[in-house]
Amino acid sequence: MQAPSLFWSVLIGAIASARSMTPMAALSAARLLGRHTPGKLALLDRPLFKYGALAMGAGELAGDKMKTAPDRTVALGLVARVMSAGIAGAALAPSGRERAGALAAVATAVPLAYLTLDARKSAMKRIGQTPSGLIEDALVIAGGVAIVALAVKPDRRG
């Protein structure tokens, strides 16, 4: 059974709603493992982008646990989600539908950022900032890795 054409783009947008850098880190890891995305983006083959995205993904996970970490719905947080979701959504869209994939991912990421923030705040009240963040990290990383793993294919160029 084949997934609907923008299915993976919408799902990666949901991941970006909670962790803006996880979609880019997951795509970069896939490229480093010799996988290719359905959507064509030369950016994914640039070493600075691949390694930078991995570093930013790890940094975001650490920074999120700090008491001074801003909410994901502040302007800069939303801009990061728009950019990450757009790039990842385009990469996971079928070839020729990259723009539609980017739009679908962004349209998912931005409103869900508010819902995931509410869920996180609720969890923080019950179990604290660090435990709720670690649980959210585990769910988001697992989801991002699964989505990318299911959406990409082995690189047959070499």
Which of these, 117, 114, 50, lies nearest to 87 by C-alpha position?
50
Is 55 part of a structural domain of the chain? yes
- Structural domain includes residue 76: yes
Q: What is the mean pLDDT of the chain?
A: 90
pLDDT category at 158 given cuts 50, 70, 90 is very low
Residue with tokens 């795509």: 27
pTM: 0.88
N-to-C CA span, the chain: 28
Look at residue 1 and tell me if it is in a domain. Answer: no
For 46-83, the pLDDT digits (tens) are 888 889 898 989 888 887 777 777 788 899 999 999 99
- Structural domain range at position 94: 7-153
Number of domains present in the structure of the chain: 1
Is residue 158 domain-resident? no
Confidence of residue 19 (pLDDT cuts 50, 70, 90): very high
